[in-house]
Amino acid sequence: MKRFFPDFLIIRNEPSIGYVIDILEPHRGDLTDNLSKAKALVEYAQKQPSAPIGRIQLIREGRDSVTGAKRMKRLDLAKSAVKAKAMTLQTTIELDHLFLDDSMVD
């Protein structure tokens, strides 16, 4: 497996639990390594169950279907349901569908 370094690690203090690490990876949807990056992020979270991880997001730029305005789509791979779906994906097209079904839009 090829090494992977996410673009952003954000450390923030949550009053109820202390320091939390957010892992954010903005990535173009047309690149061929999207699926491997999504799976690598999920695998990292599974191997570090005691790590104080908040958000693990694969982020893509998209367009609003009504206005055409640029929007950021965030697939939060720290969420159990999204994580489970991501680990079963076999193709980039399936990942594209996961973005359509389960991403948050800014």
Over the stretch 45-69, which tens digit does the pLDDT of each residue have?
888 777 788 999 999 988 777 788 8
Q: Regarding predicted confidence, which is higher, 21 or 30?
A: 21
In the chain, at which residue ranges do the beta strands (DSSP E only) sit? 8-14, 18-26, 53-63, 70-76, 104-105
pLDDT at residue 51, as a whole number: 78
Q: Is the pLDDT of residue 1 over 60?
A: no
Mean pLDDT of the chain: 88
Question: The pTM is what?
Answer: 0.83
Question: 32-62: buried (b, 16+ CB within 10 Å) or exposed (e) per residue?
Answer: eebbebbbbbbebbeeeeeeebbbbbbbbeb
